[in-house]
Amino acid sequence: MTAATTSLTITQSPAPIPASGMTTGAVRTWLRLEGLAAFVIGVALFGASGGNWLFLVPLLLLPDVSAIGYLAGPRIGSFTYNVVHNWVPGFVTLGIGAWLASPDIMLAAAILGDDEIRRRLRALPATPDGHHAYAGGLLEHTVGVATVCRELCQLHPRLRADLLLAAALLHDVGRTIELEPGPGFRQTAEGRLLGHVHLGTRLIEERAVALDPDARAELLHAVACHHDARAAKTAEAAVLYHANQLDAVAATRPVDGT
């Protein structure tokens, strides 16, 4: 009887290849950040519209009910799931809510819904050399300030939530005109001469033609004063100033006291 010799070859498994259509790396990170921003803004808009918070959780779970379509077969199930899990129902709901939401909020939604402004929000910093000074920092800062303002409206119901939230969402929209895309984030010719506050109020005024003159004036005042507390003549303008400062400080000051 002869002894049989066997050889064992060990090979390293190749790295998994992403399935077709999957996004990876930075693209997936940006998509998740955009989704998070849309969620935070959506929740803030829901609160500003005066909706009952008890309905929020069922509304969040409602899209998953679309999976019931799988009971009728995988083809129908995938169709119903994909129809619900995209931006279309959100925009349809936004359109229906146009009759219920405040003009200030609808103006903010219309301006931030502009494709170019949305692209620049994701690509630009909040400041070129200060807080949130990196690509996407403008979007993060906007969401942060809007979140702080919304929480303050919960604590102080006397504040006009629609005015304050709209001003928070639009307070730095002028940065989309003031700065050029990276890597340098240099100022444009207009940005160097006029600055983001003036450019932002000009943009809002151009888009707010249909807004009530008094409401437009208060919105413009709040945005114009978000770097000047002494100039603020309304509670909402003063709150926006401090919310802007708070988010900037929280993002930059060292946490260990050094």
- pLDDT tens for residues 123-132? 999 988 888 8
Q: Please state, in angstroms and as integers, the Cα–Cα distance from residue 136 to each residue in 143, 174, 248, following that order.
A: 11, 15, 15
What domains, with CATH codes, occur in the chain?
Answer: 50-100 (no CATH), 102-252 (1.10.3210.10)
Structure tokens at 243: 């919310």
Residue 179, beta-bridge partner list: 187
The DSSP letter of residue 101 is S
pTM score of the predicted model: 0.63
What is the structure's pLDDT at 102?
Answer: 77
Of all residues in the chain, the percent with pLDDT exceeding 70 is: 79
Q: What is the mean pLDDT of residues 111-127?
A: 90
Identify the CA nearest to 185 among candidates 139, 134, 230: 134
Average pLDDT over residues 20-29: 66
Mean pLDDT of the chain: 82
Q: What is the pLDDT of residue 5?
A: 47
Is residue 14 pLDDT above 60, yes or no? no
- Predicted local confidence at residue 232, as pLDDT: 95
pLDDT of residue 64: 72
Mean pLDDT of 42-57: 69
Asked whether the predicted pLDDT for residue 145 surpasses 80, the reply is: yes
pLDDT average, residue stretch 219-230: 96
Please give the residue that has the higher pLDDT: either 240 or 65.
240
Report, as an integer, the average pLDDT of 3-19: 51
> Dihedrals φ, ψ of 38, to 5°?
-65, -40
Q: Model confidence at 3, in pLDDT bands (50, 70, 90)?
A: very low
- The pLDDT confidence band at residue 6, using thresholds 50, 70 and 90, is very low
Query: In whole angstroms, what is the distance from residue 247 CA to residue 8 CA?
Result: 60
Q: Which of these ranges, 106-115, 163-172, 204-213, 229-238, has the smallest mean pLDDT?
A: 106-115
Q: How far is CA 222 from CA 60, 64, 66, 119, 155, in A?
A: 32, 39, 42, 25, 20
pLDDT digits (tens, 9 = 90+) for 160-187: 999 999 999 999 999 999 998 878 889 9
